[in-house]
Amino acid sequence: MHTATREPALRPPANQVSRRAVRYWTARAALGWLALTAGQVVWFVLDRHDAGIAHIIGLAVTVLLAAAHLAVMPRWRFAVHRWETTADVVYAQSGWVNRERRLAPMSRIQTVDTQQGLFERAFRLTNVTVTTASARGPIRVHALDDAVAENLVAEITARAGAAEDDAT
């Protein structure tokens, strides 16, 4: 009798992103909702037609959607976004509605970069991008504490440089 060998499923990576990511994602999303709400208020004030109730209903719906989005999305993303390195691979999971798990062998790593926009700097967060020889694109680890990101970059760089085989 032949039994099929089953490959183990990808497990969630061990490390979470920074707890400050929740506040960062909330603040970033709030700016978009504030812009939309402000636009609706200006439209209501400048509208010369008698559509007041439609504007108020639209504004109420926007506020309800914003509240739900701001309450759920950042915490959900925090629960999903994870990363890990081992001696052989870099592994990341991201998303909040659609999830993606990606890993790359150290021997395939070409570059390791950090990104930090003005908003990320305000929250002391750094994003790390690991570029590989894969046509699928880079692996991104979002919203790490600055010091954690710095250590991660140093670790990946050292391990990739020490990899025996160059699979690129």
How does pLDDT run across 10-47, given as a tens digit for each residue?
678 999 999 999 999 999 999 999 999 999 888 888 87
In the chain, which stretches have pLDDT less than 50? none
pLDDT on residue 168: 52
pLDDT on residue 5: 53
Mean pLDDT of the chain: 89
Three-state DSSP state, 125: strand
Structure tokens at 3: 């039994």
Residues 6+ apart with CB under 8 A from 92: 13, 82, 83, 84, 101, 102, 103, 139, 140, 141
User: CA–CA distance from 110 to each of 117, 127, 130, 165 (Å)?
Assistant: 23, 17, 8, 13
Alpha-carbon dihedral sign for residues 22, 28, 30, 33:
negative
Residue type, 85: T
Q: Quick one: which of 154, 18, 167, 150 has its CA closest to 83?
A: 18
